[in-house]
Amino acid sequence: MKRPVLFLIGAAAALAMAQAQADDIMAGEALYAESCVSCHGGSGRGMASFPSLTGRDADYISKRLMQYRAGERVGPNSALMAPAAAELSDDDIANLAAYISTTFE
């Protein structure tokens, strides 16, 4: 009797986590469309001197956005990225990282 109840609890928790991740990705998609698409493109492949985001994992994206937000110089486009990242919250960064890492594989 205990196993079916535990299974249902586990399944409900997994479903809730999947929904939360989907919500994060949707929020990240909206932020990307608002702030990132004009330089990195609709497919995340970059344009001109703006780098491609394809194949980047969530940890890489998060770390870079936090560095830009802190005003650190991490590449030739740091001066352009710092103002773009300055207003991002930790949740915004996590949502963007979730969207970019799952969409532009």
Please, which residues have CB within 8 angstroms of residue 31's CB and are 6 or more apart in sequence? 88, 92, 95, 96, 99
Which pLDDT belongs to residue 27?
Answer: 94
Give mean pLDDT, residues 83-94. Answer: 96
Give mean pLDDT, residues 19-43. Answer: 87
Q: Is pLDDT at 6 greater than 70 in this prediction?
A: no
Which 8-state DSSP code applies to residue 51?
Answer: P
Domains with residue ranges and CATH for the chain: 22-103 (1.10.760.10)
Query: Is pLDDT larger for residue 11 or for residue 54?
Result: 54
DSSP-derived secondary structure for 67-86? HHHTT---STTHHHHHHHHH
Which pLDDT belongs to residue 16?
Answer: 47
